[in-house]
Amino acid sequence: MRLFLAPMEGVVDHHMRRILTQIGGIDMCVTEFIRITSHVLPTRVYHKYCPELPTAPANKGNQNIGALSPVKVQLLGSNADMLAENAVKVCELGASGIDLNFGCPAKTVNKSNGGACLLDHTALLHEIVSSVRNAVPANIPVSAKIRLGYNDRNTYLDNAKAIADAGANELCVHARSKADGYKPPAYWRYIADIKNALTIPVIANGEIWAQADFVACKEQSLCNDFMLGRGLLSKPDLALQIKHHVNGTPYTPMPWHEVQSHVRTFFDVTCDSYPKKHMGNRLKQWLFYLKREYPEAHVLFENIKREKTEETLRAALAVNVS
């Protein structure tokens, strides 16, 4: 069984990848999507989104940056030739894998002919995957992530088969359509249809907030691999909980004081990474997820939600909330 960290746009950057992989249980990460249009992007763009690349300046300096698990670089777009050319470049920069985004539900992305809107164009999905697979070295895995459809859930099986037939090495399925958004439930039973139809690994994604959700998802999807997103942000040791459950070993969930230590570290490493006018925004974003599981996170969030200076935020974080 493998557990993947979901590539949540605007949330799971290299800072968050490092924190969550340090906690443990995550086998693979995927970058936020990198939009591809009509040209090959400069190296600096790929190093920005994926400083884990061995060619990145941070790694040349042996700095502790980014995930402790392998990281795939995620590309988004609809121009098959340009996606293939950019994929080749990413491989030359040392990427461990290429992931193709056919699942983003954002209106701005879909209006630009990217993400989930491509689920209405099965032939184009095949063309994109085939072009990328044929362009990159055979030893570099190419994967894709889809939803069950765009406005409905009628195309999921045709799309999955097209992607597999085009040469993808594995497929991640978010068990909702674009129209479903992020509203529960996730329709895990649809993934079982895909799993039974394909010979490549299928990764189940959507609404895994707790160990019980994992058990239900496994039973309904028939999958061996899973992707965790919001559930892992809310419960940072969820991957560890799941791994211990599968192995039949005892595990004590991470207490708040340990989570708070990671929150402080996250603030420390992100302070200089974003404009001062947005100071604390990423911290508040994570606390918004954490307060689902930890009452102390709710208290901390309420204490800092209007604060915007490093001094006041740091002072609030220094207090042990209980």
Read off the pTM: 0.95
- Tell me, what CATH number does 61's domain have? 3.20.20.70
Shared-domain flag, residues 102 and 195:
yes
Indicate which residue of 104, 117, 217, 223 is catalytic.
104
Q: Which residues contact 271 (CB under 8 A, 6 or more apart)?
A: 279, 310
Share the mean pLDDT of the chain. Answer: 95
Q: How far apart are CA 6 and CA 122, in angstroms?
A: 24
Per-residue pLDDT of 178-190, as tens digits, reads 999 999 999 999 9
pLDDT in tens, 192-247: 999 999 999 999 999 999 999 999 999 999 999 999 999 999 999 999 999 999 99
- The average pLDDT across 95-119 equals 95
30-57 mean pLDDT: 96
Residue 65 has pLDDT above 60, yes or no: yes
Tell me, yes or no, whether 179 and 216 share the same domain. Answer: yes
Q: Is the pLDDT of residue 322 over 70?
A: no
DSSP annotation string for 83-104: HHHHHHHHHHTT-S-EEEEE--
| Mean pLDDT calculated for residue range 136-161 | 97
CA 50/CA 36 separation, integer angstroms: 15
SS3 40: coil
Cα–Cα distances (Å) from 210 to 182, 234, 237, 276, 293, in that order, read 16, 10, 10, 35, 10
C-alpha–C-alpha distance, residues 205 and 183, integer Å: 13
What CA–CA distance (Å, rounded) separates 220 from 29? 24
Q: What is the mean pLDDT of residues 15-23?
A: 96
Structure letter (DSSP) for residue 231: H
Strand partners, 73: 98
| Same domain membership, residue 300 and residue 201 | no
> How many Å apart are CA 40 and CA 43, to the nearest integer?
9
Domain final residue pick, 195, 225, 247:
247
pLDDT at 283 over 70: yes
- What secondary structure does DSSP assign to 260-288, as a single string? HHHHHHHHHHHTTTS-GGGTTHHHHHHHH
Considering the domain architecture, whether residues 174 and 66 belong to the same structural domain is answered as: yes
pLDDT at 63: 61
How many structural domains does the chain have? 2
pLDDT tens per residue across span 236-279 = 999 999 999 999 999 999 999 999 999 999 999 888 877 778 88
Query: Is the per-residue pLDDT at 165 higher than 90?
Result: yes
pLDDT tens per residue across span 290-308: 999 999 999 999 999 999 8
Per-residue pLDDT at 58: 75
pLDDT at 98 over 90: yes
Indicate the residue among 207, 225, 247 that finishes a domain.
Answer: 247
217 is catalytic: no
| Together in a domain, 239 and 286 | no
Q: Is the pLDDT of residue 79 over 90?
A: yes
- Cβ atoms 171, 163 nearer than 8 A: yes
Q: What pLDDT score was predicted for residue 87?
A: 98
Say whether both 231 and 290 belong to one domain: no
- Residue 174 belongs to domain spanning: 3-247
Q: In terms of domains, do 236 and 269 share one? A: no
Is the pLDDT at 156 greater than 90? The verdict is yes
Q: Are residues 242 and 271 in the same domain?
A: no
Domain closes at, from 190, 217, 247: 247
Q: Is the pLDDT of residue 148 over 90?
A: yes
Reported confidence tier of residue 59, pLDDT bands at 50, 70, 90: confident
Q: Are residues 269 and 212 in the same domain?
A: no
CA–CA separation, 89 and 34 (whole Å): 13
Copy the structure tokens of residue 257: 């004081």
Q: Give every CB contact of residue 11 below 8 A, 6+ residues apart in sequence.
A: 233, 285
What amino acid is encoded at 210 in this protein?
A
Are 237 and 263 in the same domain?
no
Q: Tell me which amino acid residue 102 is.
A: F
Residue 75 predicted with pLDDT over 70: yes
Percent of the chain scoring above 90 in pLDDT: 91
For 258, other C-beta atoms within 10 Å of its C-beta total 13
Q: Residue 61 has what pLDDT?
A: 59
CA 197 vs. chain centroid, Å, equals 25
pLDDT of residue 60: 66
- 153 and 76 share one domain: yes
Are 77 and 166 part of one and the same domain?
A: yes
Query: What per-residue confidence (pLDDT) applies to 130?
Result: 98
